[in-house]
Structure 1
Amino acid sequence: MNDTEHPFDWLQRWYAEQCDGDWEHSWGIEIGPLDNPGWTVAIDLEDTALEDRSYAAQSVRRSKTDWLFTRVQERRFHASCGPGNLTEVLTVFRVWAEDA
Structure 2
Amino acid sequence: MDILDWIQDWFKDNCDGDWESSDAIQINTLDRPGWEVEIDISNTSIASMELDWILNETSKQDWYGVKIADQKFTAAGDPDKLKFLLNLFKEMIDKIENQ
The TM-score, its normalising length taken from structure 1, stands at: 0.85
- Specify the SS of the correspondent of 1:59: strand
Cα shift at 1:64: 1.4
Aligned residues: 96
Q: Percent identity?
A: 33
The residue identity in structure 2 corresponding to 1:77 is F
1:45–1:77 Cα contact (<8 Å) kept: yes
Q: Which has the higher strand share?
A: 2
Alpha-carbon separation, structure 2, partners of 1:58 and 1:7: 22
The alignment yields a C-alpha RMSD, in angstroms, of: 1.5
Runs of 4+ off more than 4 Å: 54-57
Q: Any conservation in 2 of the 1:52–1:75 contact (CA below 8 Å)?
A: yes
Residue in structure 2 matched with residue 96 of structure 1 by the alignment: 92
Q: Is 1:40 aligned with 2:44?
A: no
Flag the 1:37–1:27 CA change in 2: closer, same or farther, 3 A: closer
Q: How does 1:27-66 map to 2 (within 5 A)?
A: 27-55=23-51, 57-66=53-62
Q: Within 1, Cα distance between the matches of 2:32 and 2:23?
A: 27
For residue 44 of structure 2, what is the amino acid of its counterpart? T
